[in-house]
Amino acid sequence: MDAGELAYELHKLARAGAEAALKHLAPGLRPVAEAYNAGEIGLGEVRERVAKLVAASEARINLMMQTQRRMAQSLGQLAAQTPGQIARYPAWRLVRGGTRKVPREDWKRRWDAAGLATGWQGALSGDFVALKDSPIWGALGQGAGGFRDTIGNPYPPFAFGSGMTWERVSRDEAQKLGLVSG
């Protein structure tokens, strides 16, 4: 991914985040705008009501923004890939990147479903490790196995609120795991 592609992807992310937040807030904003246009409330009241709406939607908006941030982090990781990096670290390991009060316990099922869907091409079944170009990453993001909370991207966080991320795996370790030959 070059700088232009990265900038385009980040622009798309920012726009999608803003649109999603607005879509979520729109039903509540409409009556406020109508009341203001009808002269029933002033700007001070508008500010107060909008602030209350945003506060009431905090969890949802935070989830959207956090997901966008995590996606941007992954895009940054992908953009930093050089031929040398790929040669020295040919694989990713899926790891928990954020603390959750109640972490999802279904990543093994997700991984197995994605592995089966892609014939375990470049991926291990006993460990969350796969080559950087393995199709398993795409399958994870597409929700292989019927998971409906996925985002559709071949990079973390894969699903809303997942807290999952990538850590690179060295060539030595990938060889020991049998993912690459010597």
Partner 1 sequence: MAEISISVRTPELDGIERRLGPSLLPALHREIAAEVGETVRVHLRRYALGHHKTATALGARPTGNLEDARVEATSDATGATVTVRALGIRRALGPLVIRPKRRQSLTIPVASIAYGRTLAYLRLRGLDIFRPKGKNYLAHTVEENGKARIEPLFILVKQVTLKHEPALLPTQGELAANALEAARAFVMEGKS
Interaction site with partner 1 (CB under 8 A): 51-52, 55, 58, 66, 69-70, 72-73, 76-77, 80-85, 87-89, 95-99, 101, 163, 165, 167-168
Question: For the chain, where are the E strands, in sequence order?
Answer: 91-96, 129-131, 164-169
Q: Which amino acid, one-letter code, is at 7? A: A
Residue with tokens 């390991």: 93
CA atoms within 13 A on the CB side of 39: 0
CB 138 within 8 A of CB 129: no
Q: Which amino acid, one-letter code, is at 58? A: E
Q: Which is nearer to partner 1, 73 or 112 (CB)?
A: 73
Q: Which is nearer to partner 1, 85 or 175 (CB)?
A: 85
Q: How far is the CB of 26 from partner 1 (least distance, A)?
A: 20
Q: How far is the CB of 113 from partner 1 (least distance, A)?
A: 26
Q: Which is nearer to partner 1, 104 or 168 (CB)?
A: 168
